Amino acid sequence: MTKLILPGTAAASDVVAGKTFSAGTLYNANGSIIERPAQQAAVSMGANGSNLYVRIPTGAYRTPANGANAEIVIPYSMIASNEGTTIKPADIKSTANYYGVQGTLAERLYASGTGTSDNSSFTTHTAINGGTPSYITCSITGLSFSPNIVLVRTTGGGSVWNSTLLFNLWGYGVSAVVKDEDNDAYIVTQNANGSAKINLTQSSCVFPLYTASGYPFTWEAWG
C-alpha cells in the first residue's frame, strides 16, 4: 500500500485544540494546544535578582481582555508569599495596605523645632513635690498632631541647659517636670495650675520653662 506523505511539518502540539490539520502522515488530525481564556491565572512566580518571573500554563493566548491584550491574573497572596518570603503586617504602617496585606505597625509621630520665650513675666506654680516655683510660660504652635510627650531645652542666656518635660501623668493630668540651672526639678500639673499654664494638645501646647523673656529654645514632640 502506498503511504501518503502530505507537505508540512506541524504536529498536534503546534495547532490549537478544536482545529484540524494535515501534515506529514497526519490527515485531518486534531490539534492539542489549549486555548487559554482572556484572563488566565498564573501558576506561580519567583524572583531572581532584579527580575520577577511569572509562570503561566502553556497554551494559546489569543483572546483579548483589555484592548488587544490577554491578561495574566496574579493574586496578592502569591506575591506576598513569593518564594517563601512573607510580607508581615507588623512591617507595614497601619495606614497602608501592601499587596493585600494590611499593616499593623503603629506610626510614630515626631516633630521638632525652635521657639522663643514669649512671656515677659514669671508665673508662680504649685509643685506636687513641694514648693512654688516661678517660670516663664511658653508655647509651641504649628503641630500637625496632638503629642504625648514634649521635651524643651534652653540655656536661658546662661551656660547650663534648662529643660521642661511635658507629658500626661496619671491622676494629675498634663504635667511638666521643669529643671533649672541649679538642677532643681519641680513637677507642676495642669490639675493644680490650670490649662492656661500647662496644656498638651495640637492646638494648644503650653508649658512652663525656666528661662528669661525673649530667649530661644529647642523642642521635640512625640505622638
Residue 166 lies in a domain: yes
Residue 76 lies in a domain: no
Number of domains the chain is built from: 1
- Full residue range of the structural domain in which residue 205 is found: 110-222
Residue 193 lies in a domain: yes
Residue 38 lies in a domain: no
Residue 80 lies in a domain: no
Q: What is the pLDDT of residue 16?
A: 93
The answer to whether residue 14 scores a pLDDT higher than 90 is yes
Residue 13 lies in a domain: no
Residue 132 lies in a domain: yes
Residue 5 lies in a domain: no
pTM of the model: 0.58
For the segment 127-161, what is each residue's pLDDT rounded down to a tens digit? 999 999 999 999 998 899 999 999 999 986 667 78
- Long-range contacts of the stretch 155-162 (C-beta < 8 A, 24+): 155/215, 156/181, 156/210, 156/211, 156/212, 156/215, 157/211, 157/212, 157/215, 162/209, 162/210, 162/211
User: What's the mean pLDDT in 178-194?
Assistant: 90
User: What's the mean pLDDT in 110-122?
Assistant: 87
